[in-house]
Amino acid sequence: MSGAGIPDFFYREAQRLGYVARSAFKLLQLQEKFKLIKPGSSVLDLGCAPGAWLQVACQSLGPPKNGGVVVGIDLKKVKVPSTHCDARVQTVCGDVMNLSKDHIRSHSPKKGFSVILSDMCPLVSGIKTKDAALSAELGMRALDLAVGSAVLAQDAETKEENDEPSVPKDDNGILLPGGNLVIKLLESEDMREFNQICKPLFKKASWLRPKATRSTSREIYLICQGLVP
């Protein structure tokens, strides 16, 4: 639906094409522009409910003979959609903030992922600064999972002085060398920090606000390509 509750173009297209949500068109645009997922990729989809990105990710793997895997994680239990998905897609119910890297890694035959997508978003309160801070926290967790706490700790800005770490300190990231990472954020000052951290870690980092993003939303995606070994 559109913000006004009237079915919009992307909502109708999603229904017509068998996607479980209009958000499918955000990943379709990212995929068309950046070619993030390749045949045989191992994809981790953080915040996967209701499953539209699982569908697009699986389609992007090509036919089953190409191999590959899509692992989705969400706080909500997600049934793998029956359209556009096949046996390569699996879902895990859990809180990304608490699951250990080893646990997530164990779901990939390669013991790591070539693509990590984070479309996670907090329950929006309407208080701009609060929502942006929560979104940045989820984004930072996605980055930590991808590149590892050791790499992030090198950036003094990311260290919180007195806070106990809320996640286990397993240091190696689960994004394979050369891999791609997508992080959704709500526009705020934090974007600059993400930029500064990601630019040296990846060959390329760019921002995109997909066409399917509602005009009322402040969401924006950071696309990091080619993790430098």
Residues that bind ligand SAM (CB under 6 A): 21, 23, 47-53, 73-76, 95-97, 119-121, 138
Q: Report the DSSP beta bridge partners of residue 89.
A: 70
Look up residue 187 and give its DSSP letter.
S
Taking CB positions, which residue lies at the least distance from ligand SAM? 47
Q: What CA–CA distance (Å, rounded) separates 183 from 25?
A: 16
Residue with smaller CB distance to ligand SAM, 138 or 176: 138
The minimum distance between CB 77 and ligand SAM, in angstroms, equals 10
Q: Report the DSSP beta bridge partners of residue 70.
A: 43, 89
Residue with smaller CB distance to ligand SAM, 69 or 96: 96
> What single-letter amino acid sits at 193?
E
Residue with smaller CB distance to ligand SAM, 26 or 228: 26
Residue with smaller CB distance to ligand SAM, 74 or 144: 74
Does residue 40 contact residue 33 with C-beta atoms inside 8 Å?
A: no
Residue with smaller CB distance to ligand SAM, 78 or 203: 78
The minimum distance between CB 187 and ligand SAM, in angstroms, equals 16
The minimum distance between CB 74 and ligand SAM, in angstroms, equals 4
Does residue 44 contact residue 104 with C-beta atoms inside 8 Å?
A: yes
Q: What CA–CA distance (Å, rounded) separates 22 from 53?
A: 10
Residue with smaller CB distance to ligand SAM, 51 or 68: 51
Residue with smaller CB distance to ligand SAM, 56 or 228: 56
Q: What CA–CA distance (Å, rounded) separates 28 from 119?
A: 13
With residues binned 3-state (H G I as helix, E B as strand, rest as coil), the percentages for the chain, rounded to 5, are 35, 20, 45
The minimum distance between CB 101 and ligand SAM, in angstroms, equals 14
- How many CA atoms does the CB half-sphere of 211 hold within 13 Å? 10
Three-state SS at 124: coil
The minimum distance between CB 159 and ligand SAM, in angstroms, equals 21
The minimum distance between CB 228 and ligand SAM, in angstroms, equals 27
If we measure between CA atoms, which residue out of 167, 224, 172, 176 comes closest to residue 201?
224
Does residue 57 contact residue 70 with C-beta atoms inside 8 Å?
A: yes
The minimum distance between CB 122 and ligand SAM, in angstroms, equals 6
